[in-house]
Chains A and B, each alone.
Chain A
């Protein structure tokens, strides 16, 4: 087990990339600490899988280096890297039984039979397939097959890291929760580095200590779930995390106030002059709907069970607010923002208050 460093890494699927847009992964430096549980979150096609395949050696990056500890493995074959990876869709060896499937990675590495038998019993218990061990894998359902894939990913104890590429896509919701809990306890028990790719924020936030958000081939933020919620470093993080996502308004910022069209909003801190497109962002959770503040036009109210989401318009820009159960929409609706919770963005990146300059 070791720390994984991506240094100056970039990848393009074109042999001669011409512009930035040709790169599936833009240049990045990133460190995955040994024993961390990471979630790699982002929309489809943002480069998550490419990044994962570069770590496991299935794809060779067009530029930069991959280090395991101090060892440069950029040119090392997948087999030398000792990495486990679970794919989005189940991969099982059809003609083998469940037991043989689970034993396959161990047998290929020449482990002794006694150890293999013990290890398979543990893994089978973990994925709840003890009763099916001697069945042929091909007749099983998709989620049983995916459990085998997961089991094969976890069966080796000495791996450098376990990579999960949206592994629970085909699993039904109840089992999803259970397997995620299993993965989590497995992580606590053995301390493998785990990287879990997903586009589902709930999955990411419940699995990981650290969430890495990718957007358009870039890592835009790495942080705890709380950091991602409170201080998104990029408007994409604000929009992608949370349901509904962060409200963003084009605004002019001067000092500790922002001007949106005709109204003033207090920011809670002073900001230096900004360049480029300036926006302020506030989570719907921190928007209070009452008869005080700036006037808004309510478009509609959606009841999502525990609370209601108010879709409204503020100075021609759309705004979402969360309304707790039992609260009502006032006759003359106005909103106020929790001052400390407003973030400022210039060209999509967060601006730190005062003279600290550009954020992220």
Chain B
């Protein structure tokens, strides 16, 4: 059957295109501009070619920050995904308690990032913070301002506190969609608790888990505000993640060229890793279908 071809409807997308152009594409172009040029102000630009990119690719400072960033995201995922699943499995399924737990779980997600940072910054202080002071009173040597390991632990625990809810809530939604008959059939088949998880719950949660992993990876890879407020990237450079380093470079040292080149590569890395996650996880799915 021949359909009348009329693509005029595409014009309806125009307003959105304009909005996106002004809010995202054009600002990004200024970054591109800085990445390939050098400037001494006065809106005068000198062509720099790939120089800034070469600088950045070979910079030890960036390599270290990237290493810390990957380690941070890996730790975050390794804790938050299993913990989120575990919490989701143990949340009440219906009734008053289900609503209450849902609200409590959602609370950390509603707190602005810099407030989360401030909460933990104060919470962990040895002089006045409940956590820091209590630990000190118990004789545990804890000080996130001068011990790199303590700083890491603080930042990781803070992120777990802030974001595990997201994974848990997504998994909870996945679990709620499993019909009761599956659990009944599993009982009839004398399946163990582990089998129920492995063969019923996990396969049904896979879709939401993919989203959870992607979101958590992207967010943790871009993390800025919370560690900046708590540790400011220190002690030394021990918690200087990519975004913190980038901000230091761009607004602290005013090295706009290298910072712009860094931003573009940073963006591409996130895009690339997210794409790899997505492709691997959807391909696993397809293979199973055969």
Contact = CB atoms under 8 A, between A and B. Distances in A.
Contact of B182 (A91, A104, A136): A91
Contacts, number: 62
A152 B188 CA distance: 10
Interface residues of chain A: helix, strand, loop or mixed (majority): mixed
Interface string B189-212: 111100100011001100000000
B5 interface: no
Interface centre among A53, A88, A95, A96, by most chain B C-beta atoms within 10 angstroms, is A95
A123 to B, nearest CB: 14
Nearest to A78: B187
Interface in A72-108: 77-79, 83-85, 87-89, 91, 93-96, 104-105, 108
Contacts of A152: 185, 189
B174 to A, nearest CB: 13
A235 interface: no
A351 B204 CA distance: 55
Interface residues of chain B: helix, strand, loop or mixed (majority): helix
B184 interface: yes
B3 to A, nearest CB: 30
A149 B190 contact: no
B19 interface: no
B290 interface: yes
B199 A93 contact: yes
Interface residues of B, number: 19
B179 interface: yes
A108 B190 contact: yes
Contacts of A83: 188
Contacts of A149: 185
A87 B190 CA distance: 16
Q: Top 10 A-B pairs ranked by shortest CB distance? A: A91-B185, A78-B187, A105-B189, A108-B190, A93-B199, A87-B181, A94-B203, A139-B289, A79-B190, A95-B203
Interface of A: 53, 56-58, 77-79, 83-85, 87-89, 91, 93-96, 104-105, 108-109, 136, 138-139, 149, 152-153
Given A91-B184, A136-B290, 4 more contacts: A79-B187, A94-B203, A105-B188, A153-B188
Interface of B: 179, 181-182, 184-185, 187-192, 195, 199-200, 203-204, 288-290
